[in-house]
A and B are shown apart, each in its own frame.
Chain A
Amino acid sequence: MWNKGLSYRERHGILNMDIKQDEATSSATNKANYHHSLGLVFFPAFDWKISETHPERQERLLYTRDQIVEEGLLDIPNIREYNPIVADWDTIERVHVGAPNLESWVTEAHRVSAGGAIVAADAVMRGEVDRAFALVRPPGHHAMAMVHGIRGFCTINIEAVMIQHMRQTYGIKRVAVVDTDVHHGDGSQDVFYHDPDTLYISFHQDGRTLYPGTGFMDEFGGPQAIGGNIDIPLPPGTGDEGLMKVMRELVLPILEEFNPDIVINSAGQDNHFSDPLANMQVTAKGYAELVDLLQADIAVLEGGYSVQEALPYVNTGIILSMAGLDYSKVVEPAFDPVKYKQSQNVTIYIDDLIAKWKVQWANRHKMAEEERISVGDIWSNRYNVYYDETGVQEERLEKVRMYEDKVGWHSVLSHGQYGPYGPQSVYAMFIPWQADEGTRQDAITEARRAKTEGGTSRYVVVDPLGDGQYII
């Protein structure tokens, strides 16, 4: 177990040990309070929608609210409710660059949703609770560092903003994000792709059968972060059985080797058998068990659009599981164990995938070394990104500065077109959070050089633990 079964405050001795000894043993309630307390940020944004009939509409968490309140979960002594805050622009700008600017796309709802994740993180980092769950919307895992519009219902990456907040406020280093949404979190992958200290693991329905069409085994991390991005594309029809196997045989061992300071769960809920946008067969209890296995410090809601048949039960299961309570009775009324049994073909496919992944994971150091030698100083890559919600087509030229012994900058030269704001172009220089003064100066010099070359209207530098975002 990556965390030895202990919560963040237990691992770091934030919890007052005297209190713990005396009170934790005195009653069952206290035991729960001191080992399984859960901070819950519940923010259903009942006044926000993308459009009337869009899956991201007011109604999405209505039934979840009904279920949570009807079950009396907010009255449980070891569950503590928190209100979200409005995330400030500075934190968001240390992650995202907007075109034409962030204000054109980011609404107050997005900032409150990111603020909800930040509140959850604060509750854990300050040792007020053992774990926290930000049950918030709108979601964020399809939002990349560069924002030309809405992609896959997402505008800003709420986990990325939360992690930025944690880095600048608490100085955490090694972070693992485990994305259990049925869709590949291409936004989170994009934000963390070149960071060897932020491990991104996603299992999702195979991109050949589902939006956004990415997330394959060979997306193994940027040239200086190979092994830092783990995509596990699962076949349609995967059920609880397959998910647990992937968790036990791949995710948990990888986490243990990565040795994170903190683990975050991007808790999408659309692997559910009733989800209208995907084709998996996971149950509410399966999700609760997954959460129990993963023992994430912080969970943040992502997708999940079976608003009536899945979300009320999946969220109840996750909350009970994170609070150390019995979730065995969370069985959705629509569940049919025969109909939703994982087929033999799927089981064989997953077994095979796990075996391949084990080989690739074992080879990661060798692959990283080969990459470093073959690339030289600058790695570059040209690709396109499509914004389904706003119809923007973006073309990117990405570059990475390779060093032998430290993490270097990466830059994106971006041209977008067909959106409501017409053609947009921007050059962004991303300085790594690990940067020392040398790395920082190299990055700024490179950005100035790029500016003299010309080609776009705006040149910005993003220095997450330095001066934030600024124009040069």
Chain B
Amino acid sequence: MLLGLDVGGTFTDAVIIDGHRVVASAKRRTTKDNLMQGIGEALDAVLDSCDTSNVEQVTLSTTVVTNTIVEEKEQVVDLYVVTGPGRNVDDIFPVQPIYLQGYTDHRGIVVERTSTDAVCDIARMVQERSGTDLAAVSAKFGVRNPQEELSITEALQETYNTISNGSLLSGSLNFPRRTISAYFNSAVMPVFSVFKKNVEDALSARNINAPLHILKADGGSLPMAHMVSRPVETAFTGPAATVLGLSALGTIGESHTVALDIGGTTTDISLWKYGKPLMTKNGVSIREYPSAVRSFAVTSVGIGGESVVRIVDGEITVGPERVGPSAALGGNEPTLGDALIVLGHASYGDTEHATQSLQQLARVLQTNWKEADCEDSFTKHNAEKQCNHNMSALDVAKLIVEKALEIIQHGIDEVVQAENKRPVYVVADIVNPDVFVPAQIVVVGGTAPSLGPSIGEFLNLPVTIPDNAAVANAIGAALALSTIELTVHVDTKRRLLVIPELGIKQQTCTLKRAEQVVERAKEALIEEALRLGLDKTQEVEVISIEDFPVVEGWQSMERLITVKVQLEAGVKYYVE
């Protein structure tokens, strides 16, 4: 039995899955001031009818870290960087960094050492002023040789309790992104620790002793005990849970799919290429700061069931604001939901209120058009046509839905265009491009049943709206596979092997060929999976192999090989 828990912005959902079936589910309001209350209520609701000793694993998806970041409530962090020559980074981090002397180059050669004695002295001075016990360390090309970053971290341990490392959080090139990851990782650590303790208490109070996992933005889950040192990766897991939920519901298939999650305020767009969700190219942005945190590529447009409908300069606008509930539910302003009710696509609340609010809009529109018509009847040909008959609430509802669909279509077009514009670095990919052309649409979320069919017609694509979508996020969390990514970089000339994510640097590497490095990478990944106590059956996927001949002194002997492997995101199995 698997227990999934999704703590969203509005609702906290819990599901219990047993043998490919959802046997219990509950939806409770999220209690923002004291999250544990809502979590407790949802847990109690699903656990009511089952034996807690049968729970094999609990997986949690939470907005704790997301909210801390969005509300800018993270703690102050002393940020130490080793930049060497290059771009000026004075203004690109949330705080002015503390520059340490030293430089490691692109081959991982330490050109200039950082003196650890100096680091200790500087740290004492800096910490005296900031008063924080949180620090972060990031060095340019730390992923090509983590040695300097690690020795600085060791020196800082005299002064700080919590220190995050850029190259331990990501093995990919991009020093500013790794630095941002490290900074926010330390900044959210206190709040995450408190949350972890609360959840553990809530579970043990209910006699659940199964392993506790937490969902990451890349759609994988890892043990809570491990993630306590990498809390930044649990930010922005909402979209990940949705994407996994879609996958678990078995609705995607192998074709190129556009998935839409239409909530109250926004529509989240994700793309599925050959049945696999696309990831962000380099990582997710934390506020305005691009980070190295891997995540599904999800783009939001401001259209949801409760998007407010207004008339601006004589034109109907839908969203991006959400003011209150729909008029049908007693709100003051009409919404997209009201239009769907009037069209008969949805049925909730008071239909009469919905119709009245739209008729009000019709009157305003007609008044505007008539005035415009008097000024210039030629250019307002359409307006004239509209004026000839009395506009009904139904007419307005159609206009509203059309407007909403246009915005969604525009959003989809931009996401698809961006996907097809990803940089490619080899001739073969330019000559034979692998272009994403949407073949189907899958729609989930509260507004899916009422708006979904119209989207299909509008875009002229087949649409699927899965039934069990209401608690898709919790299902996704419960069934999430584990993910780990490792980078192995080998420089055969210098006999150097580096695995930055594990802080490994070996100077006696004898590997010479790409196949050997791939094997080594797989071994390292399996070892790490065992260390974390993960499911052994998951297959290791090779993400990329870069294998370059290195010529020095006009002879081709040596190679630079970089291999990335991962446990791929996905679900343990499908549910019915």
Contacts and interface: CB of A to CB of B under 8 A. Distances in A.
B425 A65 contact: yes
B86 A316 contact: yes
Given A71-B86, A75-B290, A46 B425 contact: yes
A320 B87 contact: yes
A274 B176 CA distance: 28
Nearest to B427: A109
B548 interface: yes
Contacts of B83: 329
Nearest to B106: A66
A331 B111 CA distance: 13
B86 A330 contact: yes
Contact of B282 (A65, A75, A112): A75
Contacts, number: 116
B430 A84 contact: yes
A72 B555 contact: no
B175 A312 contact: no
Interface in A61-89: 62-63, 65-67, 69-75, 81, 83-86
Given A47-B428, A62-B548, A75-B290, A329 B176 contact: no
A57 B555 CA distance: 12
A333 B85 contact: yes
B216 interface: no
Interface in A289-342: 308, 312-313, 316, 320, 325-326, 328-333
Contacts of B55: none
B174 A70 contact: yes
Interface residues of A, number: 46
Contacts of B88: 325-326, 328-329
B32 interface: no
A316 to B, nearest CB: 6
Nearest to B423: A81
B85 A70 contact: no
A48 B428 CA distance: 10
A69 B176 CA distance: 10
A75 B179 CA distance: 14
Nearest to B421: A83
Given A312-B106, A313-B85, A332-B85, A69 B173 contact: yes
B423 A83 contact: yes
A83 to B, nearest CB: 6
A329 B88 CA distance: 7
B176 A42 contact: no
Which of B140, B430, B546, B550 gathers most chain A CB within 10 Å?
B430
A329 B425 contact: no
- The size class of the interface chain B forms with chain A is 35 or more
Contact of B556 (A44, A52, A329, A331): A52
Contacts of A57: 549, 551
A71 B87 contact: yes
Interface string B400-414: 000000000000000
Contacts of A326: 87-88
Given A59-B551, A66-B106, A70-B106, A42 B177 contact: no
Nearest to B285: A75
Interface string A36-63: 0000001111111000110001110011
B425 A71 contact: no
B560 A62 contact: yes
Contacts of B183: none
B427 A108 contact: yes
Contact of A75 (B111, B177, B546): B177
Interface string B38-59: 0000000000000000000000
A328 B85 CA distance: 9
Interface string B175-187: 1110000000000
A84 to B, nearest CB: 6
B9 to A, nearest CB: 28
A329 B83 CA distance: 10
B282 A86 contact: no
Contact of A72 (B290, B424, B426, B556): B290
B141 interface: yes
Nearest to B430: A112
Interface in A237-276: none
Contacts of A332: 85
Given A72-B175, A313-B85, 20 more contacts: A42-B423, A44-B425, A45-B427, A46-B426, A48-B426, A69-B173, A70-B141, A70-B174, A70-B175, A72-B174, A74-B423, A83-B421, A85-B430, A109-B427, A308-B107, A320-B87, A326-B87, A330-B85, A331-B85, A333-B111
Interface of B: 83-88, 92, 103, 105-107, 111-112, 140-141, 173-177, 282, 290, 421-428, 430-431, 546, 548-551, 554-556, 560
- The 10 lowest CB-CB distance pairs between A and B, nearest first, are A72-B176, A326-B88, A47-B426, A333-B111, A66-B106, A69-B173, A331-B85, A70-B173, A71-B87, A109-B427
